Structure 1
Amino acid sequence: MELVKKYGAPLKFTYLPKISDNIGRAKKWFADALEKSDYKATYNYCYCTKSSHFNHVLNEALKNDIHIETSAAIDMKIVESLKKKGKITDDTYVICNGFKRDHYVSNIADLINSGHKNCIPIIDNYEEIDLLSEAIDGKYKIGIRIASEEEPKFEFYTSRLGIGYKNIVPFYNKQISENEQVELKMLHFFINTGIRDTAYYWNELLKCLKVYINLKKICPSLDSLNIGGGFPVKNSLHFEYDYKYMVEEIVNQIKLACDEAEVDVPHIFTEFGSFTVGESGGAIYEILYQKQQNDREKWNMINSSFITTLPDTWAISKKFVMLAVNRWNDEYERVLLGGMTCDSDDYYNSEQHTNAIYLPKYKREKPLYIGFFNTGAYQETIGGFDGLQHCLIPQPKHLLINRDEDGNLTTSVFREQQKADDFLKILGYNE
């Protein structure tokens, strides 16, 4: 409420210390698991930039001796900028995922040709080695992405990203084994639904380990396994997930499979995006008005839009932690939350099967503010930042919250709320 009184609402904020907190938690889980299993290789934490590309996010994350994963051509320009500023060194791994064509290939080649030998392009399809080899001077390292099989509920059977399990060894024999310019270092494994304690996840991991072992036996240079990302972020107050157990079990499964096959265990890489930055973000709105649409449905209208500021709630029905910010001790009522756009999909409900939220009763003379928390991943990049917004609803003011050397909270305005002139200029009215 102090932030609301000082800066107003709607308001978005990024609490930077949470980024370092989560990186530290994950690194400790893996360090403990490696020690417990007597695992004779290293763990490397990567942050996947697509979750949030902002300078303040990368600056905070890179304080923690981590590496990064990129997804597209412009990511590489961000890498160049960070390297010039000394945030990234030649020892930093830059794992290049995604479908690669001219612009992305050229930018990867520029980084490798400049001497950054720890840049590892992850091969996504059969043409990429030829494209990279033409652009890169001398030898370079690569990884191969496994096209994992999706859960049965998906609309398709196999991920569009990567190369099928059965095709990887033949692909290595045909394009890599006798190619003196290329050194295979990494096998990349990623599950779209994330790292979860399900039969599906463990089955896919074991299939991946079989590929790693078969490849390792014919490719001595292969020494790293990237298990991707997918650690979940708390999305409700009753969220439960045993991170420590999952890390220990993953490390244990890798070690058991490799020991049984009598091959060296791989260095482990992860690419945590949402887990790194998700819990650092939040949004605060004011309830402007209440509409009684029938005898059962009361709509509390927020002074912003869910479609523009929290697009995952609209696009994939994602849930975030939602709480009243003030008036906790007042009487509550069952409501629905609506955004200001004219789109019927601009609404939020707590759970899809209950279709309702409980909040302090609306009273015109007693303003009510609500907060959505753990919103730090993807919302700005999906919704669009500082550009056109649906129904021209302005993007909220964005705050950065940090701590100084004495541990005191500090706040600064990263972006002011968009103004009418900003939209008119984009639309060509104000030249």
Structure 2
Amino acid sequence: MNTRYVDLIEQSFYFPTEEFTMEDGNLQFHGIDLMKLIEEHGTPLKLTYLPKISQNIQKAKSWFETARKNVGYKGKYNYCYCTKSSHFHHVLEEALKNDIHIETSSAYDINIVENLLEEGLLTTDNYVICNGFKRAQYIENIARLLNNGHKKVIPIIDNYEELPLLLESTDKKFEVGIRIASEEEPKFEFYTSRLGIGYKDIVPFYNNYIRDEKNVKLKMLHFFINTGIKDNSYYWNELNKCLQVYVKLREICPTLDSLNIGGGFPIKNSPGFQFDYAYMVEEILNQIKIICDDWEVPVPHIFTEFGSFTVGESGAVIYKVLQQKKQNDRESWNMIDSSFMTTLPDAWAISKRFVMFPVNRWNDRYERVLLGGLTCDSDDYYNSEQHVNAIYLPKFNPNKPLYVGFFNTGAYQDNIGGFGGIHHCLIPQPKYILIDENHEVEVFSEQQTHEEVLDILGYNQYNKSKVNKQNKK
């Protein structure tokens, strides 16, 4: 009878996989000995396997290049990384090794761009696509890039007020894009995205605000789907509506030569995940070419903005099961040594699924459990709803430590949860390590200390002030 955890996985999924293998009953991630990491660095532990970033970028580039040849698509392809997915320097440094471009979302992003330019990691040959709702500081920072001679900065106009503000801030000639306010999926609580300009208003906006501006050229139409690129009727319908706007606009605007199909590729969220990336890329280019040929306009250069796809599959978090609590006859809670709400906030906020495996004891018998975090909040858990199926792990044994890994966590979790800083119930930020192609480990940050937490909260400042007052006396 197959009662071991490894038997359960092998009969449920295709295992091993590209990134996951097993050796001596322990899980390996891209060939990395996770138990060795745990022995050296402890838990909870966050890690980024940097080479995975470059691997995914190169995969996407190859899919688009193959599709261009198969379809006979004459436009060029440009891969952009959405910095909002992870702003860390090591992420940008790895991504920029692959001849890509940058998409920004807010004012401080531009300061990051300037830092990268100063380092030489980014040059004026790289496009900087400036997305998002633009407040005064964002406008000022974009204008500074333009005034300093960066000609490939493309502000994506999100609302009617942005273009006049940009024109007031620079006398340089520059190119812009227009973001389409796409309609949301039927299950959403609202019909149309709050970002961008409505489909029917795009052509009038160009005629009234851009066409006669001597310093501005419209280069790009920006199409973003919040749910990402998916093979469903909603996505294809919205893409078709976008293309109808593109060809009508292209007829009256010869400088329009690019289409930004924002909304990223999905990433693996379970061991059984399947998605035909190559098919989707080819079909997208084919649909664009068909409509452009029908209207007898040139096909646009393609820009994509991949954030989660770029960095998501490079990340992991490892926890130790501290104790098992049996609250009733049916529910066994394995309590981890951190918090899901603070280290994997998407699991709590939007019930996002991640790939989950035990790190060790794969040859042991298994049981059905729930996973609970350390905070006193009833929502601090990871259960079968997030995991698609029930959670099975090797049976808890107080004499045999059990470690659990969550994988493909590299996008958004640190930005949303807040790296460092103050977390719910003051659960400390875990230790964070970086791993390169040779499996060499660099400690990016140690686990947060109570002194750092008290300093942020002002207690150390109060104590210093108290000492100073006493000294004055």
| TM-score when normalising by structure 2 | 0.89
Paired AA for residue 242 in structure 1: D
Say yes or no: does 1:232 pair with 2:262: no
Out of 430, 436, 448, the residue aligned to residue 418 of structure 1 is 448
Match of 2:458 in 1: 428
Paired AA for residue 396 in structure 1: P
Match of 1:158 in 2: 192
Q: Deviations over 1:325-356 (max 9, x none)?
A: 00011111111000000000000013359773
Paired residues in the alignment total 427
Distance 2:192 2:307 in 1: 22
Say yes or no: does 1:212 pair with 2:242: no
Q: Deviations over 1:202-230 (max 9, x none)?
A: 11101100100000000000000000132
Match of 2:297 in 1: 263
Gapped regions of structure 2 (runs ≥ 5): 1-34, 462-473
Out of 296, 303, 313, the residue aligned to residue 279 of structure 1 is 313
Alignment of 1:41-190 (within 5 A): 41-190=75-224
Out of 382, 387, 390, the residue aligned to residue 421 of structure 2 is 387
Match of 2:404 in 1: 370
SS at match of 2:180: strand
Runs of 4+ aligned structure 1 residues displaced above 4 Å come to 352-355
Distance 1:257 1:410 in 2: 50
Mapped contact 2:366–2:394 kept (Cα < 8 A): yes
Report sequence identity in percent: 71
Paired AA for residue 386 in structure 1: G
Q: Residue 378 of structure 1: CA displacement?
A: 0.1
Q: Residue 138 of structure 1: CA displacement?
A: 2.3
Distance 1:249 1:372 in 2: 33
Gapped regions of structure 1 (runs ≥ 5): none
Mapped contact 1:320–1:373 kept (Cα < 8 A): yes
Paired AA for residue 241 in structure 2: K
Match of 2:4 in 1: none
Out of 319, 327, 339, the residue aligned to residue 373 of structure 2 is 339
Paired AA for residue 357 in structure 1: I
Mapped contact 2:353–2:387 kept (Cα < 8 A): no
Distance 1:411 1:370 in 2: 20
Match of 2:13 in 1: none
SS at match of 1:9: coil
Change (3 A) 1:354 1:168: closer
Alignment of 1:279-318 (within 5 A): 279-318=313-352
Q: Deviations over 1:239-266 (max 9, x none)?
A: 0100000000001001111011000010
Mapped contact 2:352–2:386 kept (Cα < 8 A): no
Distance 1:363 1:38 in 2: 60
Mapped contact 2:351–2:385 kept (Cα < 8 A): no
Alignment of 1:353-368 (within 5 A): 356-368=390-402
Q: Residue 41 of structure 1: CA displacement?
A: 1.4
SS at match of 2:342: helix
Higher Cα radius of gyration? 2
Mapped contact 2:106–2:138 kept (Cα < 8 A): yes
Q: Residue 36 of structure 1: CA displacement?
A: 1.1
Distance 2:145 2:81 in 1: 18
Distance 1:89 1:420 in 2: 41
The CA RMSD over aligned residues, in Å, is 0.9
Match of 1:13 in 2: 47
SS at match of 1:418: coil
| TM-score when normalising by structure 1 | 0.98
Mapped contact 1:336–1:355 kept (Cα < 8 A): no
Paired AA for residue 35 in structure 1: K
